[in-house]
Chains A and B, each alone.
Chain A
Amino acid sequence: MSSSVTGEGLRVVYDGDPALHEVSLKVEPGTVTAVIGPNGCGKSTLLRTLARLLKPEAGVVTLDGTDINRMPSRQVAQRMGVLPQSPTAPDSLSVLDLVARGRDPHRRWYDQWSAQDEEISLAALERCGLLDFAARDLDSLSGGQRQRAWIAMALAQQPRLLLLDEPTTYLDVVHQIEVLDLLRSLHAEAGTTIVMVLHDLTMAARYADRLVAMRAGKVIADGGFAEVMVSEVLARVFDLDCDVITDPRTGRPVVLPHGRAR
């Protein structure tokens, strides 16, 4: 099952500086979207606004057609999983205890931990390849494993829509691929709608169907990789001189920045 999320005329202001200028974005159900752009362009702000972590000054975010800020937060969390940027956990929290939190939206405070909760949490762990690490402390995992543990928590929410803020930051290339492959297969199996902020342009072009390029709080380009991953657009978005070639194996674009090194 997949959900759609739409932002309409979103404006967000930080300490007097506008971070989003009337941004509108419609994410269709069952699609994979990557938001790209230079640091400070508002891409994280956009994601956080869609995730109702920020309340916009103007504009509406709707989840499956309903204003997200008027829905009970618990109900939103039953459909939408969010992975914040560099999340923190208390010392010596176990992986399973973290993932179990993902069942929160489905339980009332008086509900006991049920066999179904247990099964879903363990299935989420298994899906992320962490079943053998369930009893380990989160601190003792590698960066890639830790990131997958947080994704497993979001999966335990059984979301129809996943919003991820830079899920591959700090990960080496192997772990980046691992996390993105995982997201892609979730999408393939369950049709989960995915919106993520990514820094690596080549990865974004490889794993997303749709790319949204932002700069200074505005959407500059929006479309498939063939429309967005072209050197003229990238020059406008990043002020970056680059060539874009095609990966012969996947047919997806690869960005080669000019730089000055030889």
Chain B
Amino acid sequence: MSLSGLVLTRAPALRSRTVSAQAGWLAMTASALLLAVLLSLAVGSRGLIPGELFDVVRGSGTAEARAIVLELRLSRTIAAVIAGAGLAVAGAVIQGHTRNPLADPGLLGVTSGAAVAVVLAIFLLGITDPAGYLWFCLLGALLGTVLVTAVGLAGAKRRDASPASLVLAGAAVNALLGAVTGVMLLLDSASLDVYRFWTVGSLAGGPDAQVLAVAGPLVLAGLVIAIAHAPALDSLALGDDAAKALGRNPLRTRLTGLAAVTLLVGGAVACAGSLGFVGLVAPHVVRRLTGPVHRWLLPQCALVGAVFVLLADVVGRLVVHPDELPVGVVLGIFGGPAFVLIVLRFRRSRRGR
């Protein structure tokens, strides 16, 4: 095809400069992730020195060290990575689609749907083991999103699930599902006893290998879909008209985004319970590194979200040694103030510009 009269007379390699800057950031957070993974494998009630850890990684090492790393810490480390990456990417996707920076991954009903199903499983069937309610959790997550999407579609003026309509549908359906959960918990304190540990988000003991084997691929699929639809989401950020003018189908893009969020949050919640905070906050932190372009934002969110959850889990193992703080508690108590600092600092640096 001809260039329609567009002939470049001088060619600065601008785009490749952005690419290298972004790749630099990615490399940096990737190394941070590697470090966090090693920390998570090494730190705990019986700490490992680096030498011991490297021996295990190389396939040698003492039987005790191998048992600690492979049986106690590997699964919770994997779970932290899955949950952190899944929630952070889902948060960025949902904030992009609703054009609302206060949206969190639970907005579309995934988390509240999962919670209802889990509590139902505990309440009606007496299931108390996470591997047992895995499928309830995933089914609930799916039903939650389907419900929100259906209401959102029905509520939008042009049947295109506009952001405003999705946000309201999410608020309404979440409240309803939350109320169902709430009533069951009020009626049955045995359910509450199981649920309170699930809802705070905990990795203690390490999730079942079966859970990881299901949740891992789900989150991975969600990641692939999310990153594949990033350019479409970027067009949608210019408004529905501009997106249509560029040949995008806004509704199809939104439904793709919803599918990605369902997979990401469903998998994450199955691994670590309903972890708050990461999904809402990680995208805000990452946007400061990458800017608003989702092609870069989403992969970076995956790395940073995983680092957040890993570090929170490690801190949780250390602060009340030999007890443990659940990872959700650490994320709130340490992450909350840290996020406030970031918000305040950003203001200053912006003013200085």
Contact of A100 with B15 at beta-carbon distance under 8 Å, contacts A73-B248, A77-B245, A124-B6 already known: yes
Contact with B along A124-135 (1 / 0, CB 8 A): 101100010011
Instruction: Decide if A109 touches B8 in the complex (CB within 8 Å).
Output: no
Report how far A89 CA is from B248 CA in the complex, Å.
16
Contact with B along A78-94 (1 / 0, CB 8 A): 10111110011111111
Report how far A107 CA is from B1 CA in the complex, Å.
13
Instruction: Decide if B14 touches A135 in the complex (CB within 8 Å).
Output: yes
Choose from A98, A107, A118, A158 the contact partner of B6 (Cβ within 8 Å): A158
Decide yes or no whether A25 CB sits under 8 A from chain B: no
Bin the interface of chain B by size: 35 or more
Query: Chain B interface secondary structure, helix, strand, loop or mixed?
Result: loop
Report how far A92 CA is from B16 CA in the complex, Å.
19
Among residues 53 to 105 in chain A, which have CB atoms less than 8 Å away from a CB atom of chain B?
53, 72-78, 80-84, 87-94, 96-98, 100-102, 104-105
Taking CB atoms, residues of chain A closer than 8 Å to B8 are: 119, 122-123, 126
Contact with A along B93-113 (1 / 0, CB 8 A): 000000000000000000000
Instruction: Decide if A88 touches B238 in the complex (CB within 8 Å).
Output: yes
Binding-face segment, A171-179, A186-194, A198-206, A222-230: A186-194
Bin the interface of chain A by size: 35 or more
Contact of A101 with B234 at beta-carbon distance under 8 Å, contacts A96-B14, A119-B8, A192-B4 already known: yes
Instruction: Decide if B15 touches A96 in the complex (CB within 8 Å).
Output: yes
Instruction: Decide if B246 touches A118 in the complex (CB within 8 Å).
Output: no
B153 → A minimal CB distance (Å)? 17
Decide yes or no whether A237 CB sits under 8 A from chain B: no
Report how far A119 CA is from B15 CA in the complex, Å.
10
Decide yes or no whether B196 CB sits under 8 A from chain A: no
Instruction: Decide if A84 touches B15 in the complex (CB within 8 Å).
Output: no
Instruction: Decide if B245 touches A84 in the complex (CB within 8 Å).
Output: yes
Cβ contacts A to B, 29 pairs, < 8 Å: A51-B245, A52-B244, A73-B248, A74-B247, A76-B247, A82-B242, A84-B241, A84-B245, A90-B237, A90-B292, A92-B291, A96-B14, A101-B234, A101-B246, A102-B246, A104-B232, A104-B247, A109-B229, A110-B228, A118-B15, A119-B11, A120-B3, A123-B3, A123-B7, A123-B8, A131-B10, A134-B14, A135-B18, A158-B4
